[in-house]
Amino acid sequence: MAVFKAVIKVNVGEDAAVLYKALYPEENSPPSHRSRMSVVMAGGEEVRVTVISSDLASFRAALNSVFRLLGAVESVKSVIYERHI
C-alpha cells in the first residue's frame, strides 16, 4: 500500500505562534479518515505541517486544505497589519 507524505515548512518569524494556533485545530479534525495532519512549532519561528495519506486523491485534497488555510491566515494577517499602520 502506498503512503503519501508532505512536510510543509513555513518560516514566519515572530508570527509562528499565531500560525500554529490557527492551524492546530485542524489536526484534530481531518477532512477525511484517509488522511492525517500534524502541526508542530519548530525553533520559535517556523511551523511544520505534515500531511500523510493512504491514497493520492485524499492526499491532494488535504494539501489543498492546508494551502487554503495558509492563504486565509496570510490574508487576515495583512488586513490586521494594514489597519495598524
pLDDT tens digits, residue range 47-75?
A: 999 999 999 999 999 999 999 999 998 88
Q: Please check whether the domain covering 4-83 is classified as CATH 3.30.310.50.
A: yes
pLDDT for res 14: 85
Q: Which of 64, 67, 10 is nearest to 75 (CA)?
A: 67
Q: What's the whole-model pTM score?
A: 0.84
Region 74-85: mean pLDDT is: 77
Percentages of the chain per state (helix, strand, coil), in multiples of 5: 50, 30, 20
Residue boundaries of the structural domains of the chain:
4-83
